[in-house]
Structure 1
Amino acid sequence: MNKNNNKTYVSIHTILIATALIPINIYWNVQMELVRYSGLPTTISLFFNVVFNLLILSLLNIGIKRFLDRTLFKRGELSIIYIVLSIASGIGGHSMMQILPPMLGHPFWFATEENDWKNLFWKHIPSWLSVNDKSVLKGYYEGGPLYNIQHLKVWIIPIATWSVFIFVVLLIMLCINIIIRRQWVENEKLSYPIIQLPLEMTSPNFFSNRM
């Protein structure tokens, strides 16, 4: 028996759609959480922006099934899109990337003689983790030529360093998840109530279920 028969493959269009939806969701989150400061989707465990995307894709799937007698996404593919958008929203959300970039230059831009930040903690902040050039920070805080080669050279090292750190943290969290998965899922059979709604929404019978 060919063992490969039991494998499930993700289609290219699923990966492309998930990737295309990431910047749209990040922009949506930034507008709600920073610009308008309302909704705050990533401050609750069930990100409603991702649930909304799943709702639209599920309805699209049903429409294509009805008129073309085929489905655009399998149930597993909808789940993958949900997972990808949830992770991306968490990274770009209220308590992570919306906080980290402003902090890279905050101690230097807002340092004054009165608060004496220069003597208090500048020496404790590595240059490769922050942006300490006020001429570069001026474009960031006051508006101006931020995206030029001279400014980007200053930003690139802190951004790259923090990107590696965040990647490692996420990888560690994934490894921990893999370690505890069998105990929690197979042995203790935890129900994970937060995932129940998205999981049911990927079912073809979700919208016809009157319960």
Structure 2
Amino acid sequence: MAASFISRSSVFRSVGIGKCYFPPDTTVPFMDVARSVKHNNPDVIAAPTLRSSRPHLILTARRFAATTSITPPDNMAILNEQRKSRPQSPHLTIYQPQVTWILSSANRITGVFLSGALYGASMLYLLHPVFPSFDSASLVQLAHDMPTWLKGGLKFLFVVPFTFHTFNGIRHLAWDTGYGLSLKGVYVGGYTVLAVTAVSSLYLAFFT
């Protein structure tokens, strides 16, 4: 690598040294000047220019980023576009279907459905003064006039949550006693609940 050379007057003037040890109008290697200044003037702290072998890299052009003013609606539109490009967090589609978590979710969902149906039917009775024709006798007559297939299908939809929640609740009570908590016991109990739910729901919907 070629050595950098500087004139002796510029260097010694920059560090405040009036006396030099080089003949006038001579050029010397840059690093030699730095070592000479440090050796003969230990109290003088060399300027940053003496630490570099490439003085032309010391001064760099300062660049400023260009900015533009935008309105709040445009700012919100840009923000919404950025949010659309964000990666989504994992959800249920990444999990392998298993009896354990499916029945656990179904137990909660059917519980909410049955509670909502109970409270909803109770609230409808409060509206009886407003709708006098809506009573138990009217509902029984409506169900009697339905075709068998339609009546059985609607009964099946309402019976499945009830039977499943009932039998799965018994399964949970068995867990409370410490029975069926092994991995095999959990799976056997889950499949048993599904089988009993299907059979009992079909019987209650189409044979009662």
Q: Normalising by the residue count of structure 1, what TM-score does the alignment of the two structures yield?
A: 0.24
Q: Which has the higher contact order (CA 8 A, sep 6+)?
A: 1
- Which structure shows the bigger proportion of residues in helix conformation? 1
State the structure with more CA Rg. 2
TM-score by length of 2: 0.24
